[in-house]
Amino acid sequence: MSDAASQIKEQITENDVVLFMKGTKEMPQCGFSSRVAGVLNYMGVNYSDVNVLADENLRQGIKDFSDWPTIPQLYVKGEFVGGCDIITEMTLSGELDTLFDENGVAFDKEAADKIREANG
């Protein structure tokens, strides 16, 4: 296992929700990362953010690890969930709520409903 892969494995094992993104949750460095972080922040999800721009090996490593070509990437309980489009669709359909519920991840249900109302 490469250094990046063991780093990734450690992150997704130690944290229930991890977002590999460009930038940080306080200061996203790309629109897609900003959108996913914005959803998680708004829903009050406690998550770990990993800035792939800070480490070139990690940036390529996460793509190899998940076999997914783009950043951001969301993991819940060690499982790869998806990137920006998938998370957006899951938020709007309510699937993300279900995923969080099933995995015991706390979030603000009212905030999730507001997102759907605003985009309905």
Q: How does pLDDT run across 31-77, given as a tens digit for each residue? A: 999 999 999 999 999 999 999 999 999 999 999 999 999 999 999 99
For the chain, how long is the longest CA-to-CA vector? 44
Rounded percentage of the chain residues whose pLDDT exceeds 70? 99
CATH of domain 3-119: 3.40.30.10
In the chain, which ranges are E strands? Answer: 17-21, 48-51, 73-76, 79-82
Ramachandran region, residue 47 (left: φ > 0; alpha: ψ -120 to 50; beta: rest): beta
| Residue 84 annotated as lining a ligand binding site | no
Which neighbouring-strand residues pair with 50? 20
